[in-house]
Amino acid sequence: MKKLFISVITMMTFTAANTFAQLTPQPSSTQSVVQDFGLGKINLTYSRPDVKGRKIFGGMEPYGAVWRTGANSATVIKFTDEVSLEGNKVPAGEYGLFSIPGENEWTIILSKQPKQWGAYMYKEADDFLRFKVKTKHLKALTETMTLAFTNVSTTSCDLQMMWEHSGFTIHMTTDIDAKVMARIDSAMKTDKKPYYEALIYYYNNNKDMDKALAWATELEKDKNFPPFVAKTWKARILLKKGDKAAAVTAAQEGAKMATEMKTDEYVRLNNEIIAQAKK
């Protein structure tokens, strides 16, 4: 009987949504977020309910009960490459993002069945992963439920949920170094060597600075590459190597070139390098 009731409710909801979608807006708006991450992307789609003066967690959404982590259809998260969520490896794929609210901690669930209406048809047997995170108590009211990517770097980011006075954070990481290094090594064997992209990766990830400096020198010879950009990166690499005098010289040359090209941004960047070298 319960299954029949759920099926009827689900069918009625879908029918109503399809019938009136063009006539009235959804009470809970849908948001889709695409976040570049590592060598891939994270796609997140969810509906955003409002508080509207109600008690949400421990009230409308009871503690200990599975929640769709939004409104309407269950929240869907898709990874185009392997990631780790709180240390748990997750293969590329599409998952339903469910959660169980708690006063002090939340249970986060990735379901292998992402296409669901609400949590009515949720089955624990479909779980791919479960883990716990601490509850964050928010001083300011978040009227509209929000999922947001924050603290994003090339290999880590946080997914934050905020609604009413409660929230949680899921820390995500991705291991791309071996893939990137292999790609750089392979590309350097071709006629079109990616000196610029390669030296930036080496610089940002503290790789072989001698190799990065050699690539910056090659860029200086490229007539199709902005010379002040090559000088700027050469100065940065020299500074990281600890050769402050050479870094100042390269940055001064870069600032002069940028001034002649009327590129104020690179004048400023080179002056910043000079100031750092003189500390």
Candidates 91, 89, 97; CA nearest to 73 is 97
| Domain locations along the chain | 27-173, 177-277
User: Please, which residues bridge with residue 117 across strands?
Assistant: 73
What backbone phi and psi angles, to 5 degrees, belong to 218? -65, -40
| Residue 202 pLDDT greater than 90, yes or no | yes
Q: What is the pLDDT of residues 21-64, one digit of tens each?
A: 567 777 889 999 999 999 999 999 999 999 999 999 999 999 99
Question: What whole-number distance in Å separates Cα of residue 263 and Cα of residue 268?
Answer: 9
- What pLDDT digit, counting tens, does each position of 32-41 carry? 999 999 999 9
- Pair of tokens at residue 154: 């090339």
pLDDT in tens, 175-185: 999 999 999 99
Residues 6+ apart with CB under 8 A from 92: 40, 79, 80, 81, 82
- The pLDDT of 169-190, averaged and rounded, is 96
Task: Return the pLDDT at 13.
Answer: 47
Q: Record the pTM.
A: 0.80
- What fold does the segment set 177-277 form as a domain? 1.25.40
Q: Which two tokens stand for residue 255?
A: 């600032």
Question: Is residue 4 over pLDDT 50?
Answer: no
The enclosing H or E element of 37 equals: strand 29-37
